[in-house]
Amino acid sequence: MALPIVSLIISLLSLVTGILRLSDNYQIQMFAISGIALTIFVISSYLYNKNRNTLKAYPKRPKISFEDELGNAKEIWLAWHTGSVKVAQGDIFNSPRRIRLILTHPKSNALREIAKSTDLSFEKLSYDVQELSKIAKNNGCKVGWYDGLIGNSSIIINPEKNNAWARIETFIPFIEPAARPSIKCSHKNSNDLFENLKKSYENMWELSEKVK
């Protein structure tokens, strides 16, 4: 997109330069200058407005399946409060993708606090974390238990690539996961936000207990 626009601007500038050289008519010169100024303004406005809409908001989880959303991702970073054994029974972990998974430590006070805001007991959440960890590890994934509060669950796709993107899902007490809102951003169009999410994930991973 950028290359054709730059080429267009250069061509218009060349055209104006030619008109200024060939014509002594003041009105024609001003018309040419005004034309190129308006063209640049329109293009700049288009790019500005286009890049402003860099976040996608979802009032609840996207209707497409998790597997379809991942597409042809090569590397996936996940940070979930507890995850779900049911989710793990799909093909998400059983794939050649490089997957890194952070879960709340099954014996942590943070998990006890999460249990207070759900309809599930601490024991059930702890069981889910441990079972999901086993499934992920058996499929060659890296798993870490974070002894702290994972504020919002997140997924980061191809974190080191230009086509990287991330989606964060807000935690709302007593609201089932499928009904939680989320926002999605890309490395290309929301670099600052994406880098902050990536840095946050890396810090949590560094502090997590690695599951053997």
- The whole-number pLDDT of residue 40 equals 56
Q: What kind and span of H or E run contains 113?
A: helix 109-116
- 48: containing domain: 2-52
User: How many Cβ atoms sit within 10 Å of the Cβ of residue 210?
Assistant: 9
Does one domain contain both 184 and 159?
yes
Does one domain contain both 190 and 138?
yes
Per residue in 1-55, pLDDT (tens digit) is 444 555 555 555 555 555 555 555 555 555 455 555 555 555 555 455 455 556 8
Q: Which of 121, 187, 189 is nearest to 156 (CA)?
A: 187
Does one domain contain both 126 and 160?
yes
Per residue in 83-100, pLDDT (tens digit) is 876 666 656 787 788 999
Q: What is the CATH number of the domain that holds 109?
A: 3.30.870.10
Does one domain contain both 41 and 63?
no
- The whole-number pLDDT of residue 1 equals 46
Q: Which of 124, 80, 123, 127 is nearest to 99 (CA)?
A: 80
Of the given ranges (57-66, 138-147, 192-201), which has the lowest mean pLDDT?
Answer: 57-66
Per residue in 112-155, pLDDT (tens digit) is 999 999 999 999 999 999 999 999 999 999 999 999 999 899 99
Q: Are 78 and 150 in contact (CB under 8 A)?
A: no
What letter would DSSP give residue 211?
P
- Residue 26 in tokens: 């003041």
Which one-letter amino acid corresponds to residue 58?
Y
In this prediction the pTM is: 0.74
The total number of structural domains in the chain stands at: 2
Q: Which of 211, 21, 18, 3 is nearest to 107 (CA)?
A: 211
Examine the fold and report which residue of 52, 72, 88 is the final residue of a domain before the chain moves on: 52
Does one domain contain both 22 and 36?
yes
Q: Are 161 and 77 in contact (CB under 8 A)?
A: no
